Amino acid sequence: MIVYGGRDWLFNQTTGKSKMTGSSDLAGSKIFSRCLLVMIASFVAALALLPEAHADEGFGGPTFRKGMWRFVRTLEIVTHSNVRHKLFEREMTRCVDPTQAMKATFSSAPVGNCHSTKPERVNNRYIFSNRCDYMGPVSTVITVQSDEAYSEVNQLTVGQLPRTDLVIARRIGDCREDSAALGQPSDLPIEH
């Protein structure tokens, strides 16, 4: 017999199983059940307080139509003499819901010492004076042409070489039946 935590445990060496013994069996299971319920309730309450849980309620950004979208991303560096050098240009066609990506952009969490500011809306533009991005702290301008087209410019000005990340996005149609699951690549050719 092993005494653990004020309770008696009986270990059966033949089966390798242990069992709580004594009159505290019923009381122990009630206490365990209550603790488990409190832990589950606390976990559910914590989830409800997360910003993502209320993202739909407080989302003040642009909304777009789901469908087949064509994205053209260009990354440039700017030298000291204000000459722009294109590092790369990449095109992609995907079946997506851009509104979901915008929700992530508009709820950018702090990264280290970088804290995103709330965007300012001016007509069809959303302007972030500071947003925490994969490149570092950037200023971002999202210009909405319609629910089927937008552009996003991210400018990084810290460091030796300032960079500009430009994304041009345009909806080109509905998703095909076989790639209707959002986010799945399409077999449609990408035009250059």
Please choose, from the candidates 164, 157, 110, the residue with its C-alpha nearest in 3D space to the C-alpha of residue 132. Answer: 110
Question: Domain of 15?
Answer: 2-49
Distances (CA, A) of 140 to 127, 154, 191: 6, 5, 27
Q: Within a domain: residue 122?
A: yes
Q: How many structural domains does the chain have?
A: 2
Are residues 137 and 164 part of one domain?
Answer: yes
For each of the chain's 192 residues, which pLDDT tens digit applies?
444 444 454 445 566 555 555 444 544 556 655 544 545 544 444 444 444 434 445 678 999 999 999 999 999 998 877 788 999 999 999 999 999 999 988 887 777 788 888 899 999 999 998 888 777 788 999 999 999 999 999 998 877 788 999 999 999 999 986 444 555 554 444 443
Instruction: Give which of 80, 83, 62 is closest to 125, Cα–Cα.
Output: 62
- Tell me, yes or no, whether 32 and 65 share the same domain: no
- CA-CA distances (angstroms) from residue 185 to 155, 159, 191? 28, 35, 15
111 inside domain: yes
Q: Model pTM?
A: 0.61
